Amino acid sequence: HAPVVVAIDGPSGSGKSTVSRAVAARLGLSFLDTGAMYRAMTWWMLANDIDVADPEAVAVACGKPVIVSGTDADGPTITVDGRDVSGPIRGPEVTAQVSAVSAVPAVRARLVELQRGCAGVAERGIVAEGRDMGSVVFPTATVKVFLTASEAARAERRATELRAKGLDEATITAMAADLARRDAADSSRATAPLTQAADAVLVDTSELTLEQVIDRITTLVEQRA
User: How far apart are CB 223 and ligand C5P at their closest, in Å?
Assistant: 25
Question: Closer CB to ligand C5P, residue 102 or residue 142?
Answer: 102
Over the window 154 to 193, marking each residue x when it contacts ligand C5P by CB under 6 A and - when it does not, the resulting string is ----------------------------x---x-------
Residues contacting residue 190 through CB under 8 Å, at least 6 positions apart: 103
Which residue spans within the chain are E strands per DSSP?
A: 4-9, 30-33, 67-69, 78-80, 83-84, 125-130, 143-148, 201-204
- Which of 15, 35, 65, 70 is in the footprint of ligand C5P by CB under 6 A? 35
- Which of 99, 142, 148, 205 is in the footprint of ligand C5P by CB under 6 A? 99
- Which of 14, 20, 30, 34 is in the footprint of ligand C5P by CB under 6 A? 34
- Which of 110, 131, 144, 154 is in the footprint of ligand C5P by CB under 6 A? 131
- Which of 50, 132, 143, 217 is in the footprint of ligand C5P by CB under 6 A? 132
- Which of 7, 12, 62, 142 is in the footprint of ligand C5P by CB under 6 A? 12
* CB of 162 closer than 8 Å to CB of 149: no
- For the chain, what percentages of helix, strand and coil (3-state, to nearest 5) are there? 50, 15, 30
Which of 155, 58, 59, 69 is closest to 97 using CA atoms? Answer: 58
Which of 206, 112, 192 is closest to 154 using CA atoms? Answer: 206
User: How far apart are CB 34 and ligand C5P at their closest, in Å?
Assistant: 4
Residues contacting residue 183 through CB under 8 Å, at least 6 positions apart: 11, 12, 194
Give the 3-state secondary structure of residue 194. Answer: coil
30 in contact with ligand C5P (CB under 6 A): no
Residue stretches of the annotated binding site for ATP: 10-18
Strands 125-130 and 30-33: parallel
Q: Applying CB under 6 A, which residues contact ligand C5P?
A: 12, 34-35, 38-39, 98-99, 102, 130-132, 182, 186
